[in-house]
A and B are shown apart, each in its own frame.
Chain A
Amino acid sequence: MKREAKLSTRNSSLSAPRSPLRDFLRALWAIVWKDLSAEWRSRELLTAMLIFSLLVILIFNFALELDARARASVTAGVLWVTFAFAGTLGLNRSMATEKDRGCLNGLLLAPVDRSAIYFGKAIGNLIFMFTVELIVLPVYSVLYNINLFRPGLLLVILLGSIGYVAVGTLLSTMAVQARTRDILLPILLFPLIVPVMIAAVKASGGFLQGLPWIEVSTWINLLIVYDVIFVAVAFMFFDYVVEE
């Protein structure tokens, strides 16, 4: 009964005049949902990213002697290096599963716009990244007795992750199609995201030290500019990168 009802609503939505935007959003959501439910069943990617992040913080703890004085100046740097490293793990894995099991070809055969595939994968990656960040922040806060949940810092993390994932999704699609794929992604990605890293570290540091908005806003603006440019460019080039 329930199923029939569902089918009939679907049929009615098919027969109704279709708006392109609605179709696009549905395709987008289907791809994001596919990634999320696959991850929910295996939990491979998130577990790996999380444990890796905690290990990186642990290593920093010994490497930098994170005492109270050092923490004030290096916390922002430690956080962003951790996110960047964990991010490459996630990006590589998310694209490699698509490539290895031939899912990418299946996706390309689907009658949806290629940009829906790009944005779907990018949003999936972004959700994984946010999840890791939302777990790392409280753990770091507890371990080092510092409150990281400040609106400014969360804004920086949002903007920085968008820029990182926008470029990262495009480059990981390229990297998985190369022979040297696992080592290729960080080499391709890190030189291009230098502006994101600098701006994010500076802005995070500024918010953590309680600097006035006027001193941080330059970095925030830079992050916004980077996000806008690279989301647009990556979306334009995605077609060329998946073409067979």
Chain B
Amino acid sequence: MESKPRFLSILDTITAILFVAAVGMVFFYTPLERTMGQVQKVFYFHVATAWVGMLGFMVAAVVGILYLVKNERKYDIAGLAAIEISLVFFFIAIIMGSIWARPVWNTWWTWDPRLTTATIVELIYAAYMMLRQGIEDPDRRARFGAVYAILGFLSVPLTFISIRLLRTIHPVVVGNSDPSAEGSFSMTGPMKTTFFFSLFTFSVLFVDLFWHRVRIGKLAAKVEELRLKISV
């Protein structure tokens, strides 16, 4: 068995340091938002986790295409790794959003485009996991997984547009802001720094977890192979 790569251990340490720094910045560096107070601080990690979620789904679609073109097992392992991580992060993003929405929108949940799309995205990738579980043949599982990951990723923008055509109350903090959005605010210098720093931290965290998960996936494939050899 190959031992843990040295650079992966270094990356683990870097991720941990960055994460502690990000938490510190959120609590001690950023100013208190005037109307929302403490609960606004959830925003930094909320956007970062949602970003990691979308990043992983995008990675899965790209390696899905690569798998279909090149037919190499490593792309399948990478696709599954990305989707597993993103499912968890996206779920955390939804939960954090709920925590923020309770005091600001006065409700845990509304059928706003972003919230609804996020839920549908979670369901798409939950279906992806179910599809994989239902197929034993590794080759077919990989092909179907790749096709579904690409289809799912393609449908997300259309889903978002279709729900967006209905009214939205979700604030758009980066880019143009809709005046009817509730709970919107403009970022000051330290807020912006912290925001981009946490985006960066979570991206590094994603890379770190992704690397670990791909390693586990490769080992699992090897175990499966050895088991087949024994049974033969």
Binding site for B on A (CB under 8 A): 167, 170-171, 174, 177-181, 184, 187-188, 190-192, 194-195, 198-199, 202, 218-219, 222, 225-226, 229-230, 233, 237, 240-241, 243
Q: State in angstroms the CA–CA spacing of A170 and B148 once bound together.
A: 10
A192 contact from B134, B135, B152, B161, Cβ within 8 A: B152
Q: Is the CB of A229 within 8 A of B154?
A: yes
Q: A178-B135, A233-B151 are in contact. Are A194 and B130 (CB under 8 A)?
A: no
User: Which of B120, B134, B135, B143 interacts with A240 by CB under 8 Å?
Assistant: B143
Contacts of B40 in A (CB 8 A): none
Asked if B147 and A174 make an inter-chain contact with CB atoms under 8 angstroms apart, the answer reads yes
A178-B134, A194-B155, A229-B158 in contact; A188/B140 too (CB < 8 A)? no
Shortest distance from the beta carbon of A235 to any chain B beta carbon, whole Å:
12
B130 near A198: Cβ-Cβ < 8 Å = no
- CB contacts between A and B, total, < 8 Å: 83
Please determine whether A179 and B134 come into contact, CB atoms closer than 8 angstroms: yes
CB distance from B124 to the nearest CB of A (A): 4
Main secondary structure of the interface of B (DSSP, over half): helix
Complex formed: what's the CA distance from A187 to B148 in Å?
Answer: 12
Chain A interface, DSSP helix/strand/loop, else mixed: helix
Task: State in angstroms the CA–CA spacing of A187 and B167 once bound together.
Answer: 28
- 10 example contacts (A-B, Cβ-Cβ < 8 A) are as follows A167-B151, A174-B147, A177-B144, A178-B135, A180-B134, A184-B130, A187-B127, A192-B155, A240-B147, A241-B144
* Contact call A237/B150, Cβ cutoff below 8 A: yes
Extra 5 A-B pairs, beta carbons < 8 Å, given A190-B123, A192-B124, A194-B155: A184-B131, A191-B120, A199-B162, A240-B143, A241-B147
Confirm or deny: B136 has a beta carbon within 8 angstroms of a beta carbon on chain A.
yes
Q: Which B residues are CB-close (under 8 A) to A229? A: 154, 158
The interface residues of chain A lying within 8 Å CB-to-CB of B124 are 191-192
Q: Which residues of chain B have C-beta atoms less than 8 A from A177's C-beta?
A: 135, 140, 144
Bound-state CA distance A199–B152 (Å) is: 18
Top 8 A-B residue pairs of the complex, sorted by shortest distance between their CB atoms: A178-B134, A180-B134, A195-B158, A195-B162, A191-B124, A198-B162, A191-B123, A179-B134
On whether the beta carbons of B158 and A188 are closer than 8 Å, the reply is: no
Encode B140-184 as 1/0 by CB contact (under 8 A) with A: 100110111011101100110111010000000000000000000
Instruction: Indicate if the CB atoms of B148 and A174 lie closer than 8 Å.
Output: yes
